[in-house]
Each structure stands twice: as structure tokens, then as C-alpha cells.
Amino acid sequence: MLEVSSIYLYRNRKQVFKNFNLNLKNSEIILLEGENGAGKTSLLNMISGLINPDKGFIKIYKKSIVELGNQKKKIFTYIPDKNCLKENLSVNENLKSWLNLSNLKVNDNKYQKALNTFSLNSIQESLVKSLSQGQKKKVALTKLLLSKSKLWLLDEPLNGIDTKTITILKKIMIQHVRKNGSILFSSHVKLDLKLTKRIILKKIVNKFNIDLLDQWENFQ
């Protein structure tokens, strides 16, 4: 489903990825782990086509991300770290605007069911600016239930949500995988999912930095 091959990426003159490979098959979950700045968000941004790798290629269903163009919204759903919600719009207006942008039509029954999953029914007419951080995250995660795509890309989906919501999200993820879907997500919070493969990203330390470190140790 998703193939990341021989990726090289430099950011602010620092190498973030060096010959990085990843293969996500159908019915598979991959968890990206790693310290801050290791490149988790950069990897997800590359896969979603927001940034281009300096070398290597990314293919979804054997098509490069550039070729996919407007088809991207049908193939994958990306929930970034930021909630992408407009503060002056209500929960309903935000989700309906997203559905419109994603070219998705969802019947009212399914829509209400999705809201109900995250207990958002009672606040669906409330403005997003009046919600707590956790509630905002829940609104963002509701997009997963409304989407029809097989591939989910989630950047820190567990940030700011309570244990009850984490359990709900776990169930949703398992259901998605059982329906032949795939998930690539990053998280600092430990999520006990047996089906999950783990990839630990490590910061690349440049030779220049190692030299400096050696000099410092010698000096000491």
C-alpha cells in the first residue's frame, strides 16, 4: 500500500533521513517512535506530499505522491498534530466544511454516529473556540470516521485526549485494520496494540557534531 524507499532529507542544513525505508502493507499498523526532532512529523509530511524528499521516492498504491494530485484525498486521510479547526466556526460547520473540501458525502445517520462515538453530539453546535484541547482533538479525530480512505496517517493522535478516548481510538483503529485498512502513526504515549509494528527513528548525528563532541571530551 505505502512504500517509502531510500529517502534522504535535509532540513536547516541537518540531515534528518539517510537511506530510510518503510513498507506499509494492507491491514497493518506502524507506530513511529523517537525523540523530539527525530523526523516523525517530517516523514508524515513527506508521505502526505507537503514536503519533498531530497532523494528517494514515496509511492502509494504504486503511484508517486506527485502523480496522485487531487486523488490524494480519496486515498489517505491525514490528521496532523495541529487540529486544523476554525475557531469561529461550530463543530458541525468545521466538519461539514472538511467533508466539502474532501469531496465526501455522508448521510446524516453516519454523521451523527461518528459524533456519538466521541460523545460530541451535545456540543455539535458549539463554537470550536469554546471547546477544551481534548474536545478539539476529538473533533479532529472524528474526521477518521467520516473518511472512506484505506490509509490513515496520524501525527500524535493521542496528545491531549483522556484514557477513555484513547480506548475508543484503539477500537476504531482495530476496526479499520480489520476492514483491510492501514495506519501509520506517531506517538509519544504508549498504545498497547498487538498488531502494531514499531519503527524507532533516531536523530542523525553529523560527523561535524561528533568531532565537536570529541574535542569537548578531550578538553575536559
Partner 1 sequence: MGKLSMKNFKTLLYREFIISFKNTKSLYSYCTFFFTSILLFVFATGPDISILSPIYKPILWMITIFALILISESFVFEDFFDGSLSELQFLGYSEEIIFLSKSAVMFISLIIPNIILIPVSSILFKVNFLDVIEIITLFSISLPTITLISILSALFSLQVKRNKFIQFILIMPFFIPIIIIATSENFFVTNLGNEFKIFVLIGLFLITLPLSILIGKLIIKELNY
Q: How far apart are CA 145 and CA 176, in angstroms?
A: 9
Please, what is the minimum distance in Å from the beta carbon of residue 216 to partner 1? 29
- Kindly give the residue spans of alpha helices, DSSP state H, lying in 147-206: 163-178
31/85 with CB nearer partner 1: 85
Helix ranges restricted to H, 102-162 = 108-117, 133-146
Min. distance of Cβ 50 from partner 1 in angstroms? 5
The grid cell for 216 is 569537548
- Compute the least distance from the CB of residue 60 to partner 1, in Å: 12
Q: CA–CA separation, 44 vs 176, rounded Å?
A: 19
Contact 182, 112 (CB under 8 A): no
> Whose Cβ is closer to partner 1: residue 56's or residue 80's?
80
Q: Which is nearer to partner 1, 101 or 163 (CB)?
A: 101
Separation of alpha carbons 196 and 113, rounded Å:
27
What Å distances lie between residue 13 and 46, 81, 82, 208, CA to CA?
A: 17, 24, 25, 12
Q: How far is the CB of 180 from partner 1 (least distance, A)?
A: 23
Would you tell me how many other CB atoms lie within 10 Å of the CB of residue 131? 20
The residues of the shown chain that bind partner 1, judged by CB under 8 A, are 11, 45, 48-51, 68-73, 78, 80-89, 93, 97, 100-103
Query: From residue 39, how far is each of 17, 31, 61, 213 by CA, in Å?
Result: 7, 13, 23, 22
Query: Minimum distance between the CB of residue 149 and partner 1, rounded to whole angstroms?
Result: 11
Nearer to partner 1, 36 or 103 (CB): 103
Which residue's CB is nearer to partner 1, number 50 or number 212?
Answer: 50
Closer CB to partner 1, residue 18 or residue 82? 82
- The Cβ-side half-sphere exposure at 112, using a 13 Å CA radius, reads 4
Provide the minimum distance between the beta carbon of 203 and partner 1 in the complex, in angstroms, as a whole number: 18
Instruction: Give the helix/strand (H/E) hosting 91.
Output: helix 91-101
